[in-house]
């Protein structure tokens, strides 16, 4: 049985929190009770709760009480079915973010196979080098120039690697030209450390097992009416522009575009499947602004692979659009866009 796609894209800690709700047959609980009973570190608990609230599995209030939404309750049932099915054959996957495949693995002295997760195999070797180095720094933050001086990388390669790490969510720019590993980057370094240890024990050169995915850049666009009015439906168009001559795909690739609306409808996240070739590919989304002065439309993109368990988050954007109390929606349109790197 395959885990539902929407559950694969939230942090592993979020799944454990949902399991806690299900195991205790509760629909609401306080942060302190979760801290005591969910079996997670404080950092993991906070990350898991953030993912559940953002994706509307939970609602929170000012008193740190978390309540399941209808989506959260349905997801607990889906997760319980998945756990029951996979535990029968010992194949339970307790992590929604586990994107590993059987290739590029190493065997430790104890005979345990340690796999380099798929999401790390899609990064250039230089990106892994940068993350390893950042994990050894005495302070979490480092300036771009200082990091460049400490590594034996060309200027162009280094710049590309830093952009890739930020785009993929492994590093954050915490101030002007100052970078730090993100939570995802910290977890990735831990995965690398386990893999490197197995490589050393097995006497295998880690460089021989890296598989690097080339990328092509496509423009993700979100088109909205120039004027949004509270309580009046509007149509958004979301998708990818046609490829330019330098960024053509050698073959089609499948992506899922996740959309959500804050202060409007649809309030629950919606997933839209697209098969990208080199032509433009878009879909329409009906939105309904609520009685607010502004709505936020969030777009996230996930790339799919032949193995249905492999999903790579590849970027996204959000747009804050003003909402008017009355009048007519704008007849003209406004386009927003961002470059997304597709792995090929």
How do residues 68-104 score in pLDDT, each as one tens digit? Answer: 999 999 999 988 888 777 654 443 333 333 333 223 3
- Tell which wins on pLDDT, 204 or 278: 278
Could you check whether the bond before residue 266 is cis, i.e. omega within 30 degrees of 0? yes
23-37, 219-233, 308-322: range with lowest mean pLDDT: 308-322
Domain residue ranges of the chain, discontinuous segments joined by +: 5-87, 100-209, 215-343
Compute the half-sphere exposure of residue 150: CA atoms within 13 Å on the CB side of its CA.
Answer: 14
How do residues 152-200 score in pLDDT, each as one tens digit? Answer: 888 888 988 998 888 778 898 888 889 999 888 888 888 888 877 776 6
Tokens of 276: 């990208």
pTM of the model: 0.52
d(CA 340, CA 315): 6
d(CA 294, CA 336): 16
Q: Is the pLDDT of residue 121 over 90?
A: no
d(CA 120, CA 23): 33
What does CATH list as the number for 215-343?
A: 2.60.40.10
- What pLDDT shows up at residue 101? 27
How do residues 319-342 score in pLDDT, each as one tens digit? Answer: 999 999 999 888 899 999 998 988
Q: What percent of the chain has pLDDT over 90?
A: 39
Residues 6+ apart with CB under 8 A from 281: 239, 240, 274, 275
Rounded average pLDDT over 207-227: 75
Rounded average pLDDT over 236-254: 92
Pairing of strands 113-117, 228-229: unpaired
Tell me if 304 sits within 8 A of 285, measured CB to CB.
no
- What pLDDT shows up at residue 95? 36
The answer to whether domain 5-87 and domain 100-209 are alike in fold is: yes
Closest to 337 measured CA to CA, from 312, 318, 314: 318
d(CA 150, CA 338): 31
- What pLDDT shows up at residue 308? 58
Tell me if 202 sits within 8 A of 333, measured CB to CB.
no
How do residues 19-59 score in pLDDT, each as one tens digit? Answer: 899 888 899 999 888 888 887 777 788 888 988 988 889 99
Residue 216's DSSP bridge partners are 342
Specify burial of residue 175 (Cβ count, 10 A radius: 0-12, 13-18, 19+). exposed
Average pLDDT score over the chain: 82
Residue 309: pLDDT band with limits 50, 70, 90: low
2.40.30.10, 1.10.10.10, 2.60.40.1930, 3.40.50.300: CATH of 100-209: 1.10.10.10
What does CATH list as the number for 5-87?
A: 1.10.10.10
């Amino acid at each position: 049985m395959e885990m539902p796609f929407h559950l694969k894209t939230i942090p592993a800690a979020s799944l454990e929190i949902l399991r806690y709700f299900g195991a205790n047959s509760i629909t609401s609980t306080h942060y302190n009770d979760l801290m005591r009973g969910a079996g997670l570190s404080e950092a993991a608990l906070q990350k898991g709760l953030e993912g559940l609230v953002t994706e509307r599995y939970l609602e929170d209030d000012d008193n740190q009480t978390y309540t399941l939404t209808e989506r959260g309750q349905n997801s607990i049932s889906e997760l319980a079915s998945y756990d029951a099915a996979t535990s029968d054959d010992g194949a339970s996957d307790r992590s929604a973010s586990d994107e590993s495949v059987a290739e590029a693995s190493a065997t430790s002295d104890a005979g345990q196979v340690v796999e380099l997760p798929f999401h790390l195999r899609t990064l250039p070797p230089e990106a892994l080098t940068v993350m390893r180095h950042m994990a050894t720094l005495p302070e979490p933050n480092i300036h771009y120039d200082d990091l460049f001086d400490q590594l034996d990388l060309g200027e162009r390669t280094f710049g590309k690697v830093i952009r890739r790490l930020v785009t993929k969510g492994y590093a954050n720019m915490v101030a002007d030209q100052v970078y730090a590993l993100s939570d995802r980057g910290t977890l990735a370094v831990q995965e690398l450390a386990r893999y490197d240890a197995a490589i050393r024990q097995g006497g295998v050169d880690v460089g021989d097992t890296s598989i690097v995915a080339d990328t092509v850049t496509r423009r993700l666009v979100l088109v909205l009416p120039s004027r949004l009015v509270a309580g009046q439906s509007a149509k958004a168009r979301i998708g990818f522009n046609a490829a330019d001559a330098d960024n053509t795909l050698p073959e089609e690739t499948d992506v899922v575009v996740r959309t959500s609306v804050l202060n409007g409808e649809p309030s629950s996240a919606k997933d839209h499947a697209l098969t990208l070739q080199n032509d433009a590919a878009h879909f329409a989304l009906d939105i309904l602004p609520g009685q607010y002065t502004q709505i936020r439309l969030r777009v996230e993109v996930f790339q799919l692979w032949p193995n249905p368990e492999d999903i790579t988050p590849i970027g996204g954007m959000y747009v804050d659009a003003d909402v008017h109390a009355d009048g007519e929606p704008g007849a003209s349109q406004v386009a927003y866009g961002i470059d997304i790197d597709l792995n090929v």
